[in-house]
């Protein structure tokens, strides 16, 4: 296998072109009311509608179980209403819609205990606005039909509760000189991260849930807030429908690279394990062995290959190729394999985990350096390296590759320098 280096990839030249704004502007600021199909082929219409329930007005009147130790109010309510986000519950509490033992509380961290009587009404979704923002974008390719962007880590793709500004959508609105757009906020996986890395649905939103235009400018797939790399944006309806169909048929080429805590038992493999919400931790997903359960888990397949062992086997550079696109798919499958992504605090790739695997594999003289290196990691070490698809209008197969950004490259370089071993 080859180590990751610049010569391993053919970088296509950038090709920014002038394009017509009128069609794109109309496209962004209207609802996706004509888009047929769904980019995820495993959802029935009933399942899609169920997941899009916005929970507005849902009531909870319940007594906390007597065996419950003191627990945060927002956490307890989230555990009692299946599917609602913690951020949404917190908004309801702050809006004065929650009472404990007959007294309204607006403190999300209020502790409840066994015997407490809780009354809660979930608040309405508040309109969010996508404001054009002058955000530097790394445009890899652009024509009048599609836009390929190299997203930096820490940037959220689209506005969501807790992440209303600084998004990729806002940058695209400014880049294309488009107006502000309003839309209703959606449920997200957590109040900390953008629930991403998955293909988006482009079939009509339920009118009872979404009554404002969607402002995702033709975004057919997403990347997690902490994930860097390539993402394609459609600039008209034809391109969106065509790209969505390619995602549905799994013909889009997506290659990711990651730095993992530990090394997988097999140097390559195919993970065919459904993914659903983790029943023990509502802010993450989990690989759930067995047949996909309606509404609980979804078919998910990832292929992986170890490119190079690092630090004597305490870590590895791993390539991933997706056959499906599910929320946090690589992160959940990596955890299932016992190799969480380095820096992924949500899925077990904590700093302590990384050091516990790295230090026993390296000479003591490197331990201080390793501690410093790991302490600087601020996001999951995951990068969307390659993106390939059939151009929606020309029919040409095009492919783009961008190497990982400096933070990823620095970690990789230092781990390689510390007693690395190449996989044969």
Strands 297-298 and 275-277: antiparallel
DSSP characters over 15-67: ------HHHHHHHHTS--TT--S-S-TT--HHHHHHHT---TT-EEEEEPPTT
> Which residue from 219, 180, 221, 214 is spatially nearest to 32, judged by alpha carbons?
214
Alpha-carbon gap, residue 210 to 59, rounded angstroms: 21
What is the helix (H) or strand (E) element at residue 353, kind and residue range?
A: helix 351-358
- The verdict on whether 224 is a catalytic residue reads yes
DSSP run (H or E) holding 373: helix 367-375
Cβ-contact 94, 112 below 8 angstroms: no
Q: Do β-strands 111-112 and 71-72 pair in parallel, antiparallel, or remain unpaired? A: antiparallel
What is the distance between the alpha carbons of residues 38 and 200, in angstroms, rounded to a whole number?
8
Q: Is the alpha carbon torsion for 201, 203, 208, 211 positive or negative? A: positive
Question: Three-class SS of residue 363?
Answer: coil
| Beta-carbon contacts of residue 198 (< 8 Å; ≥ 6 apart) | 40, 221, 222, 325, 326, 327, 328, 329
Residues 263, 306: Cα–Cα separation, whole Å: 8
What one-character DSSP code corresponds to residue 341? B
C-alpha torsion angle, residues 224, 229, 233, 239 (rounded to 10): -110
Among 191, 224, 242, 407, which one carries the catalytic annotation?
224
Q: Rounded to whole angstroms, how far apart are CA atoms 342 and 318?
A: 11
Listing from the earlier edge strand, what are the strands of the sheet with 285-287? 285-287, 275-277, 297-298
Catalytic residues: 224
């Amino acid at each position: 296998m080859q180590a990751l280096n610049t010569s391993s990839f053919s970088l296509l030249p950038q090709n920014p072109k002038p394009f017509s704004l009128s069609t794109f502007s109309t496209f962004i600021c209207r609802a996706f009311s004509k888009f047929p199909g769904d980019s995820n082929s495993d959802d029935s219409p009933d399942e899609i509608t169920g997941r899009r329930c916005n929970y507005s007005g849902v009531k909870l009147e319940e007594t906390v179980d007597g065996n419950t130790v003191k627990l945060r109010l927002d956490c307890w309510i989230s555990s009692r209403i299946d599917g609602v986000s913690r951020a949404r519950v917190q908004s309801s509490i702050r809006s004065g819609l929650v009472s404990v033992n007959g007294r309204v509380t607006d403190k999300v961290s209020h502790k409840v205990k066994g015997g407490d009587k809780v009354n809660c009404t979930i608040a309405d979704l508040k309109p969010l606005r996508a404001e054009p923002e002058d955000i530097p974008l790394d445009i890899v390719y652009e024509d009048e039909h599609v836009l390929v962007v190299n997203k930096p880590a820490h940037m959220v793709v689209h506005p969501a509760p807790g992440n209303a500004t600084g998004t990729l959508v806002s940058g695209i609105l400014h880049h294309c000189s488009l107006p502000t757009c309003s839309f209703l906020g959606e449920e997200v996986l957590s109040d900390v991260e953008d629930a991403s890395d998955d293909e988006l649905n482009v079939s009509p939103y339920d009118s009872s849930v979404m009554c404002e235009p969607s402002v995702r400018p033709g975004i057919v797939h997403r990347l997690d807030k902490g994930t860097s790399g390539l993402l394609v944006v459609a600039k008209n309806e034809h391109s969106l429908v065509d790209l969505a169909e390619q995602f549905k048929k799994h013909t889009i080429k997506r290659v990711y690279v990651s730095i993992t805590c530990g090394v997988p038992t097999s140097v390559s493999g195919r993970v065919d394990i459904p993914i659903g919400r983790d029943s023990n931790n509502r802010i993450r997903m989990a690989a759930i062995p067995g047949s996909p359960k309606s509404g609980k888990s979804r078919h998910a397949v990832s292929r992986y290959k170890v490119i190079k062992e690092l630090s004597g086997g305490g870590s590895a550079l791993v390539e991933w190729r997706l056959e499906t696109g599910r929320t946090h798919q690589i992160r959940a499958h990596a955890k299932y394999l016992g190799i969480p992504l380095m820096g992924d605090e949500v899925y077990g790739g904590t700093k302590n985990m990384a050091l516990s695997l790295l230090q026993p594999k390296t000479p003591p003289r490197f331990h201080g350096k390793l501690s410093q290196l790991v302490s600087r990691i601020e996001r999951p070490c995951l990068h969307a390296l390659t993106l390939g698809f059939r151009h929606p209008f020309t029919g040409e197969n095009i492919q783009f590759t961008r190497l990982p950004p400096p933070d990823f490259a620095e970690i990789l370089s230092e781990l390689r320098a510390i007693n690395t071993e190449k996989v044969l």
